[in-house]
Amino acid sequence: MTDVTALPFDMPSVEESRPTVTFDLSALVHNWQAVRSFAGGAETGAVVKADAYGCGAGPVGRVLIQAGCRTFFVANPAEGAALRPHVGDAAIYIFAGLSATTLTTYAQADLRPILNSPAELELWKAKGGALAPIGLFIDTGMTRLGFSAEEVRVLAGSNTALAGLGPMMVMSHLACADNFSDPKNEQQLNLFSELSSLLPAHSRSLANSDGILLGAPYHFDLVRPGLALYGGSDALTAQLGLEPVAYLHAPILQVHEAPKNTCIGYGATYKVARDSRIAVVGLGYADGFRRGMSNAGIGWLAGREVPVAGRVSMDLTTFDVTDVAPEKAQAGDWIELLGSHLSVDRVGKLGGTLGYEVLTSLGARYTKRYVIDGNLVSGDEL
Ligand SMILES: *Cc1c(COP(=O)(O)O)cnc(C)c1O
């Protein structure tokens, strides 16, 4: 039998050979509230780009609206238009993608552009939403999107460049917030404080999830957590008391007795050193279970860790379950690959990547389920 005692919801029986991902929306709300408590007086928004880091922007938007979130961020106008029906009249800011062809999307879905260059500013003034609220992004040391320091100074020195615009949230983004002792954090903070004070900022925003932990001087008027909402890095989890949101389970399809020296999988890269049992599990790299997990990943079965044995294939992965009692490692049992025993951070490190990529790679072939307080809910009908 699958060991589900530690799960905050029930698992169905394995009826078809599909992995199942379960999103705990109560945990998501808990995490948003934990960030909000930590952020003190600053408003807490929510970054829901990339389909809410793979967790589903619709359901995530709906529960966060109910929890009191009023400001959302997505990557591009198409994501913003898809989010709009789920979040009522909340503010939706778009990190990138203001152009002549997307202007109508901004108008139709009531989206707020984040202007990243003088050219975008001109376009918005000429054809955009008149006095509608906007964001303005300053590059303070990451060399990604945004106005340069020089461009901000030119803008601030002009009598006309900023005329006729709506309320403006001035923003920037930290390059090294995951390393609290990196001096670049304070350099960016100082430059952002200086440059944003030259502009008629209605509000200011600097901190992503890790940046929030850097403390109150980094919070300004609004904080922009993404990863923390979805279960976070282990550092965020420890500091904020976050809960896992995404749980991934895959079914054991078959269990083999593998005598000593049996080779497993493509390339025969794993040879068992003792008489072993190998569980063949129905997920692979086509499901976002990275090939980098070959001979490196870990599953959780019947209260213990079981290692990936051999290479991950497209649809199948083999685990060495020799140390699990045979009756607890049977075809039809679930093996946990992400959840309370295996954090997104840990799984990322095992696969040579990071939690962000683990979440955004969650596969399209999964059965997706949402739970609130342990009960299944339909993602469409929240
Ligand atoms: C993605 C993103 C965030 C959220 O970052 P997390 O590290 O996931 O909290 C905030 N601001 C900007 C500009 C982003 O691109």
Rg from Cα positions in the chain: 23
**Which atom of ligand 1 lies closest to the CA of 49?**
1
Q: Evaluate if pTM is beyond 0.85.
A: yes
Residues with CB under 6 A from ligand 1: 47, 49, 95, 173, 208-210, 224-228
Angle at CA 231, nearest 5°, toward 204 and 54?
85
Per-residue pLDDT tens over the stretch 297-355: 999 999 999 999 999 999 999 999 999 999 999 999 999 999 999 999 999 999 999 99
pLDDT of residue 140: 97
Multiple choice CATH, 25-230, 3.40.50.2300, 3.30.43.10, 3.20.20.10, 3.40.50.11540: 3.20.20.10
Per-residue pLDDT tens over the stretch 175-221: 999 999 999 999 999 999 999 999 999 999 999 999 999 999 999 99
Per-residue pLDDT tens over the stretch 364-373: 889 999 999 9
* Atom 6 of ligand 1, nearest CA residue: 226
Q: Are strands 134-137 and 112-115 parallel, antiparallel or unpaired?
A: parallel
- The CB density around residue 50, as the number of other CB atoms within 10 Å, is 16
- In the numeric block, which tokens belong to residue 276? 């072993």
**Which atom of ligand 1 lies closest to the CA of 224?**
10
The whole-angstrom separation of Cα 54 and Cα 76 is 16
Q: What is the DSSP letter of 296?
A: T
- In the numeric block, which tokens belong to residue 291? 């090939």
pLDDT of residue 310: 97
Using DSSP's 3-state secondary structure scheme, residue 103 falls into: helix
Average pLDDT, the chain: 94
Residue 287 Rama label (left phi>0; alpha psi -120 to 50; beta): alpha
Mean pLDDT to the nearest integer, 251-268: 97
The whole-angstrom separation of Cα 300 and Cα 61 is 30
Angle at CA 64, nearest 5°, toward 62 and 67?
115
Is position 266 annotated as part of the catalytic site?
A: yes
* Atom 13 of ligand 1, nearest CA residue: 173
* Topology given in CATH for the domain delimited by 4-19+244-377: Lyase, Ornithine Decarboxylase; Chain A, domain 1 (2.40.37)
- The one catalytic residue in 125, 266, 366, 368 is 266
Is position 218 annotated as part of the catalytic site?
A: no
- Domain extents in the chain: 4-19+244-377, 25-230
* 305: β partners: 300
